[in-house]
Chains A and B, each alone.
Chain A
Amino acid sequence: MTQSPDTPAESGNPQEAVDAFLAGSSLRHAPGPYFGAFGGRWMPESLIAALDELEDTFEKAKADPEFIAQVAELNKNYSGRPSLLTEAKRFSQHAGGARIFLKREDLNHTGSHKINNVLGQALLAQRMGKTRIIAETGAGQHGVASATAAALLGLECVVYMGAEDTRRQALNVARMELLGATVVPVTAGSQTLKDAINEALRDWVANVHNTHYLLGTAAGAHPFPALVRYFHEVIGEEARAQILDQTGRLPDAVCACIGGGSNAIGIFHGFLDDRQVALYGFEAGGDGVDTGRHAATITLGRPGVLHGARSYLMQDEDGQTIESHSISAGLDYPGVGPEHSYLADIGRASYEPVTDTEAMDAFRLLCRTEGIIPAIESSHALAGALRVGKRLTEGKDNPQDVIIVVNLSGRGDKDVATAAEWFGLLPQESPEAGIGSEGEQL
């Protein structure tokens, strides 16, 4: 990133990107900083040196067998990888008869795909000689994962979390504190996830000499989108090998939920060059995309810059960020990773909204048909898979020939209070009834 002003960085030519895609160029391992017209570094100059250092450390680590072995060892013996690929036979009956397979990221240590990224980044922090990590969190999942990695590697950890969320997610705050992290309630702005990111960035500017910002999703300034994807690519690599092993062929479709987009980009990556495999990202439709209360960034947003990258963004006519809404705190973000914006623009992946109601119906269906309680985030992918399954099997004599892989990105233990409230399972006046309302999770 040292172009002279006379030759400004290529800000990405969308048409060239589309042409290259149509000509059959590989989409895998896109290095950034640009993904077509998206990505880049829309960041204060104060942080550019840190981003350069991170990029340099990451590039060297990727080429270092010792680092690769270290990540593989932690993935195997700490996180419990490879995660299973489970065929959901009874759930599949509700998808027009298509065969649905679940990539079980819910079985990882800490209960979601998030562990892949935090372990990798914490190792990079160590390589840079940084002794302190900071992270943002909405519901607390990335905060818990970050606190876990920090405890494992002996790093100081500070987690920024919207003040409202710290109250609603009291148990996740306690989890992070049990793991030795400090949780800082953020009272600035709208007091949500995006404001927690703002506050983490302010901390990073002031403490960059000893601090690594462990961003939780495949968004933000270069190198974060490519770096976070790298640590999640294992999801797609495993899933591709497992589905070939179990069915002898590639799936017709891969489904994932999208907030910032880290689990989705992780599983998509393994299939990007298998052009016959349709890729679907399901955004949080909240109360419905026509209500204004949603987080359907690609569906309804328009390109802008937030938190360091150019990407689709929920913004008003003045370019002010609009607050997002979703029953799922993990999808409740008004931005999205730049690589997803690119995949949407070139038509390699499709993005559709799933409402709170559709997601919760799929949540309950998976509980009852498979004995698996999914995260509400992942339930958006499940609802999307039911939709895609019905679509792809329509008019087919052998619907079981349609194969769909769903990234079950996390488990739903954290969501039991929300779900109990949603389905009216809590006795009146129980303490949980108070906690459970409005997207709150235990």
Chain B
Amino acid sequence: MNNTATASKSAAAIDRALAAGRTALVGYLPAGYPDVQTTIDAAVALAENGTDVIEIGIPYSDPVMDGAVIQAATVQALKDGFRVSQVFEIVAGITARCDAAVLVMTYWNPVMRMGVDEFSRRLAEAGGAGLITPDLIPDEAAEWFEASDKYGLDRVFLVAPSSSPERMAMTVKASRGFVYAVSIMGVTGARENVSSAAEQVVKAAHEAGAERVCVGLGVSSAEHVREIGAYAEGAIVGTALVAELGHSGVQALGALAARLSEGTARA
């Protein structure tokens, strides 16, 4: 893990939150849902309501780590003609209007198709912080290491309850910005409770040297965020935000972010 916080936009955003006595709030939105402009407006609404790091997901034809709500949103975006290069427009639109760190979450094939170097260059030019890669493990990431170093981008890899100590150490070392701790063996989706496995995963990541660990999957309420804040640096909310945006629009989304951020105060 890179120790120089200034080199990493997402680490800097998390550190600002922690310095203010808050757990970092990370919010996910799918690109182009319901359209490009709304994605930008929605992300800005998140940032204005206490979200520190924005995660913009690229709609993909085969999203194996996503549950029904996010799948429905990304299928809709693709049906409406979303093109991968529009994600740079979205990132630039968000970073022009707020100072949240903006990461892109993407399955790997769209990046590989564009070319890892070109994708990285365009993301950096748009002001993006880096990538969250749900189906890219460090073992396969040679090209991504090279490009992320070249363009100063964060590499957010995932760790899971099933990660062996060796893989945990390797993945923590490979990551920059923060480590994404998967709270549960499963896919994205709001759940009643945050799994107790989450705390163990975060503990293992910290022991492996991670300075910033954010917990995702199943996080949907201020209470969840508060709970996670007791042992991790950040909480990641996705499905709950996507559902709110789909049902009630940007303003309601901002209100939900404000409620979630009430859980960020650290004891």
Contact = CB atoms under 8 A, between A and B. Distances in A.
Interface in B57-85: 60-65, 67-68, 71, 75, 78, 83-84
A140 to B, nearest CB: 22
A305 interface: yes
A194 interface: yes
Contact size class for A? 35 or more
B36 interface: no
Contact of A321 (B61, B139, B142, B185): B61
Contacts of A188: 68, 71, 75
Contact of B62 (A43, A205, A209, A321): A321
Contacts of A206: 185-187
B114 interface: yes
Contacts of B142: 8-9, 11
A205 B113 contact: no
A318 B142 CA distance: 21
Contacts of A202: 64-65, 67, 186-187
A424 interface: no
Contact of A198 (B62, B83, B112, B113): B62
A205 B139 contact: no
Contacts of B159: 45
A44 B170 contact: no
Contacts of B174: 5
A319 B84 contact: yes
Residue from A11, A40, A42, A318 with most neighbouring chain B CB atoms (10 Å) = A318
A48 to B, nearest CB: 6
A4 B169 CA distance: 9
A23 interface: no
A320 interface: yes
A63 interface: no
B170 A45 contact: no
B141 A306 contact: no
Interface in B159-195: 159-164, 166-167, 170-171, 173-174, 182, 185-187
Contact of B162 (A49, A305, A306, A321): A49
Contacts of B158: 44-46
A398 interface: no
B162 A208 contact: yes
Contacts of A50: 162
Contact of B113 (A2, A5, A319): A319
A307 interface: yes
Contact of A318 (B113, B138, B161): B113
Interface string A1-44: 11111001101000000000000000000000000000011111
Interface stretch (B14-22, B129-137, B223-231, B242-250): B129-137
A379 interface: no
Task: Report the interface size class on chain B.
Answer: 35 or more
A31 B64 CA distance: 26
The listed residue with most A CB atoms (<10 A of its CB), out of B64, B78, B84, is B64
Contacts of B160: 44-46, 49
A198 B61 CA distance: 10
Contact of A2 (B63, B78, B136, B167): B167
Contact of B139 (A1, A207, A313): A1
Given A307-B62, A320-B61, A45 B173 contact: no
Residue of A1, A8, A46 with highest tally of chain B CB at under 10 A: A46
B6 interface: no
A206 B136 CA distance: 19
B163 A42 contact: no
A304 interface: yes
Given A4-B170, A307-B62, A320-B60, A43 B109 contact: no
12 contacts: A3-B139, A9-B140, A9-B142, A40-B140, A42-B137, A44-B135, A202-B187, A209-B185, A315-B109, A317-B113, A319-B110, A320-B60
Interface of B: 60-65, 67-68, 71, 75, 78, 83-84, 108-114, 134-142, 145, 157-164, 166-167, 170-171, 173-174, 182, 185-187
Q: Give the 9 A-B CB pairs with smallest separation, nearest first.
A: A319-B113, A319-B110, A5-B174, A8-B142, A49-B162, A46-B160, A206-B186, A319-B109, A318-B84
Interface of A: 1-5, 8-9, 11, 40-50, 52, 188-190, 194-195, 198, 201-202, 205-209, 304-307, 313, 315, 317-321
Given A9-B140, A188-B75, A201-B64, 18 more contacts: A3-B170, A41-B137, A43-B137, A44-B135, A44-B160, A45-B182, A202-B67, A208-B185, A305-B112, A315-B109, A315-B113, A319-B60, A319-B109, A319-B112, A320-B60, A320-B61, A320-B78, A321-B61
